[in-house]
Amino acid sequence: MSTEETKPNGIWETIKTIFWALLIAGVFRSIFFQPFWIPSGSMKDTLLIGDFLFVNKMAYGYSYASCPSVRIPAVGINVDATDICGWMQGDNSRIWGGEPETGDVVVFRHPVNGTDYIKRLVGLPGDTVQVTAGVLQINGKPVKLEAAPDFEEVFELQGPQGMRPRCENGAVGEGAMCVKTRQYETLPNGRKHSILNIAEQRSDNTPLYTVPAGHYFFMGDNRDNSTDSRFDQRVGGVGFVPYENLIGRADRVMFSSGGRSMLYFWTWRGDRFFKRID
């Protein structure tokens, strides 16, 4: 058989291979796990800017939010989950739904703008939540706090967005050590994790919130640098998050890069590969 006869078949086979590879990858992402890069410092020191993880979508079952959003502005692609699975939205239910637990680190869709957020769940439906003098109160009882070593990081540009950290020790120069107070917080169900504090500010004292049925209350572990459920949706906050907006649970950091690009191998954080998320 001549080369001219086999070449078209070879091209067609390549096209089919690429098609099936993309289809399988899309199904895998839609049903089982979704990749997620940490873009901000709101969950330090549990999660650092540049951490890469897979979100377990099977943990809580499936809703419209389980469908992937694909946004590539450079080539004009902007496909939202509602464009694909919007028909499932509105009744705040899930298929094969599972209940999240207090202390889970969860990726969810913002109730208003649809952006993916990652925070820690601290309030279940029916719970009361309040922050008083920087201490989280759940159902009228303060959580247990223990002193921990300060969290230290270099004051420098972080991640692709080039963000600089906020420091409790004031304005420090480029390359200096940026310090934050760290504590261990134990939630009512025994889940223990670290939190960071930077300064006294308005979010350290909040009204008393009662979490509505079918909704959840989230906070970032970097308490003074997190836009979360303490802030009303009307002023750019998160507010209460509906059950159907949960995407999945984050269980483990798979890879971590401290530089502007994951290709900068000298910035890889080897101690965070496959690190369990508490």
Give catalytic residues, as residue numbers: 42, 119
Check if the beta carbon of residue 179 is closer than 8 Å to that of residue 152. Answer: yes
105 strand-pairing partners: 120
Half-sphere exposure of 275 (CA within 13 A, CB side): 16
Residue 238 contacts residue 110 (beta carbons within 8 Å) = yes
**Sign of the CA dihedral 148, 53, 167, 186?**
negative
Rounded Cα distance between 70 and 110, Å, is 16
Name the residue among 199, 34, 171, 49 with its Cα closest to residue 116: 34
